[in-house]
Amino acid sequence: MKILYSSHALAPRRGSRSTPMRSSRAVAYLVYSEGEGVRLAGGALESSLLAEAREDGFTGKSGTLAMVRRGGARVLFVGMGKREDVDGNVLRLAAASVVRHSIEAHLPDVQFVLPDSIPLWAEGKGTLPSALQALSEGAVMGAYCFDAYKSKKGKRAGIREIVFGFAGLSLTGGKKKIAGAESVAGKQAVARGVVFGEAVNFARDLINRPPSDKRPAVLAAVAKSLAGQGVSVRVYGKAELKRMGAHALLGVNRGSAHPPALIHFRYRPSGKAKGSVVFVGKGVTFDSGGLSLKPADGMMTMKYDMAGAATVFALFQALPRLNLSVEVHGVAVLTENMPGPDAYKPGDVVKALNGKTIEVLNTDAEGRVILADALSFASSLKADVIIDVATLTGAASVALGKAYAALMSNSPPLEKNLLNAGARAGEKMWPLPLEKSYLEHIQSKVADFKNIGNPGRRAPSSGGFSFNNLSAIGVGPMWIWHRWGGTERGHCWRRPGPRGHWCGHF
Ligand code: BES
Ligand code: MN
Ligand code: ZN
């Protein structure tokens, strides 16, 4: 799939209906809904084609789409809703809908015709490059389909080329350059969108993969394939983990027939690093619950329990193409959680890498146990910030539903930055309190901590658990915990999450 940007006018001028169009091509116009009317985003023209779509009930509401035939080709109108509500998410959703519909209609070439002046970038809500980036992210994510295990792959070859360009409707010269649509900045923004979109799709591929095809050793090989261009990858296997004393991860792994792994990624920028950050990801490649076995229904989605680790993998897939001047570490802890003959048992005590002991009372609360090792490892890297991404508890989605991921942080400025970054990226998060008095809930009679709180209080207990681990080992003030449980399966605009927009039954 090729994604291009052109800073020249693409579309026919007002009144011209004779421009030749390839029959394989979808030409997509972004359209506002305003009051009762439906207007092209630039406001310059309401063509007869749009009037036709309107007659068929197209309102221009965000996420809606109308397709009108024009000779052999198709003109798509995609709604952006009200002008003042347009933001990156609206653009992502619009681009994703266009691409999805083009694939369904077997139109391999898609041309986005952008208006000459979308107020989005004229009125301080963003810049033209950020709008282009959002559109290109949406297009790449909208094209995603997980069909690696389907015998019929028909739709995968869906899109051949996507071009983002300008309408030029208000221009007399037709091919004249659009002011402000500098070619270099526009091309870079579209390319950046492709990097982010592809990274998300890469994570989705790993998350969607069946659990028996992504055991720790298999994922370790995937990790190694990401080495190069400033990224180094070190895999710690079972023997090394024993030597290091990572008995929390080893404990969880005992019920599995397959050894665990801890992966340490490191990205070094070419120039001097301006700071450093560690991303930690929970990588339970299948969570049966262990001896505290999950019910059948609760287990069906537990191949997703490595979404945190997949996010870390995807980050290191993208980093070489992003040119950042920050040193970035990634720590992914990988294991199955299974009830095999030697499984760790309720009542067992394991000792984490930092020397702290944990009484395991519920083997299904395994995420926080393996993260005790991962966070100990991460803190020894002495980076400025630790960001932990984990599918820790279904309680997060009980509290927040599926639209928001839960977030806990011991650093208000970092928390604010992350909330903002999430809002910009269309990955909404909501903060939960790190209440110190909840630490009482995880005091154990026999060990330093226990891995569950008192009945009915489990949401705070998992936060408290990791918090205590970390504060006990004296990590710097910047720590954030981005906790999932439910949202890893996707936000509404790229429903149904890891499976992708358009393939399957949604
Ligand atoms: N991986 C699960 C959490 C989860 C559940 C993620 C549903 C996504 C959707 C985690 O290991 C787990 O089992 N947590 C338990 C904790 C409990 C035993 C204290 C939970 O959420 O029920
Ligand atoms: Mn579990
Ligand atoms: Zn789990």
Fold of 209-499: Aminopeptidase (3.40.630)
CA atoms within 13 A on the CB side of 420: 6
pLDDT in tens, 64-118: 999 988 776 788 999 999 888 888 899 999 999 999 999 988 899 999 988 765 5
Residue nearest to atom 20 of ligand 1 (CA): 393
Q: What ligand 1 atom has the least distance to the C-alpha of 282?
A: 1
- Out of 70-79, 89-98, 122-131, 313-322, least confident range: 122-131
Segment (H or E) for 244: helix 238-244
**Residue 489 scores a pLDDT above 70:** no
**Residue 492 scores a pLDDT above 80:** no
pLDDT in tens, 398-436: 888 888 888 888 888 888 998 999 888 888 898 888 777
Ligand 1 pocket residue status of 290, Cβ below 6 Å: no
Q: Give the pLDDT confidence score for residue 406 in this predicted structure.
A: 85
Q: Give the pLDDT confidence score for residue 475 in this predicted structure.
A: 39
Ligand 1 pocket residue status of 485, Cβ below 6 Å: yes
Ligand 1 pocket residue status of 395, Cβ below 6 Å: yes
Separation between Cα atoms, residue 81 and residue 89, nearest integer Å = 12
Mean pLDDT of 34-60: 75
Cα of 299 vs its chain's centroid, Å: 22
Q: Residue 109 has which token pair? A: 């070439």
Pocket test for ligand 1, best of 285, 291, 359, 393 (most atoms within 8 A of CB): 393
Residue nearest to atom 19 of ligand 1 (CA): 365
In terms of residues, how long is the chain? 506
pLDDT in tens, 189-248: 999 999 999 999 999 999 999 999 999 999 999 999 999 999 999 999 999 999 999 999
Residue nearest to atom 5 of ligand 1 (CA): 394
Q: Give the pLDDT confidence score for residue 304 in this predicted structure.
A: 93
pLDDT band at 501 (very low <50, low <70, confident <90, very high): very low
Give the CA-trace dihedral at 412, 415, 420, 423, to 10 degrees: -140
Separation between Cα atoms, residue 300 and residue 286, nearest integer Å = 10
Q: What is the mean pLDDT of the chain?
A: 82
Higher model confidence: residue 408 or residue 285? 285
Give the CA-trace dihedral at 240, 447, 391, 89, to 10 degrees: -110
pLDDT in tens, 132-153: 999 999 999 999 989 899 987 6
Q: Residue 460 has which token pair? A: 């705070």
Domain with CATH 3.40.220.10 in the chain: 2-14+23-202
Interacting residues of 246 by C-beta distance below 8 A, sequence separation 6+: 236, 262, 352, 353, 373, 377
Ligand 1 pocket residue status of 367, Cβ below 6 Å: yes
**Residue 42 scores a pLDDT above 60:** no
Phi (first) and psi of residue 256, to 5 degrees: -100, 150
pLDDT band at 330 (very low <50, low <70, confident <90, very high): very high
- Do the bridges between strand 37-40 and strand 25-34 make them parallel or antiparallel, or are there none, so unpaired? antiparallel
Mean pLDDT of 495-504: 38
Residue among 254, 232, 228 at smallest CA distance from 241: 254
Q: Is the peptide bond before 260 cis (omega within 30 degrees of 0)?
A: no
Ligand 2 center to residue 232 CA distance, Å? 30
Q: 């890891």: which residue's tokens? A: 498
Ligand 1 pocket residue status of 486, Cβ below 6 Å: yes
Ligand 1 pocket residue status of 463, Cβ below 6 Å: no
- AA letter at 285: T
Q: Across the strands, what pairs with 109?
A: 25, 161
SS3 58: coil
CA atoms within 13 A on the CB side of 311: 24
Q: Residue 80 has which token pair? A: 């952006």
Q: What ligand 1 atom has the least distance to the C-alpha of 298?
A: 7
Measuring CA to CA, how many Å separate 99 from each of 104, 106, 160?
Answer: 9, 10, 11
Ligand 1 center to residue 38 CA distance, Å? 46
* Percent of the chain residues topping a pLDDT of 90: 52
Q: Give the pLDDT confidence score for residue 273 in this predicted structure.
A: 96
Separation between Cα atoms, residue 41 and residue 34, nearest integer Å = 10
**Alpha helix segments (H runs only) across 107-237:** 119-122, 128-142, 183-208, 216-224
Q: Could you give the residue numbers annotated as active site?
A: 294, 368
pTM for the model: 0.90
Side by side, the strands of the sheet bearing 349-351 are 349-351, 357-359, 449-450
Q: Residue 278 has which token pair? A: 């560690």
Pocket test for ligand 1, best of 336, 392, 487 (most atoms within 8 A of CB): 392
Q: Give the pLDDT confidence score for residue 333 in this predicted structure.
A: 98
Separation between Cα atoms, residue 235 and residue 54, nearest integer Å = 58
**Residue 503 scores a pLDDT above 50:** no
SS3 452: coil
Ligand 1 center to residue 272 CA distance, Å? 41
Ligand 1 pocket residue status of 336, Cβ below 6 Å: no
The DSSP code for 263 is E
SS3 285: strand
Residue among 482, 484, 477 at smallest CA distance from 412: 477
The CATH architecture assigned to 2-14+23-202 reads 3-Layer(aba) Sandwich (3.40)
Helix axes 367-380, 458-472, angle to 10 degrees: 30
Mean pLDDT of 7-15: 54
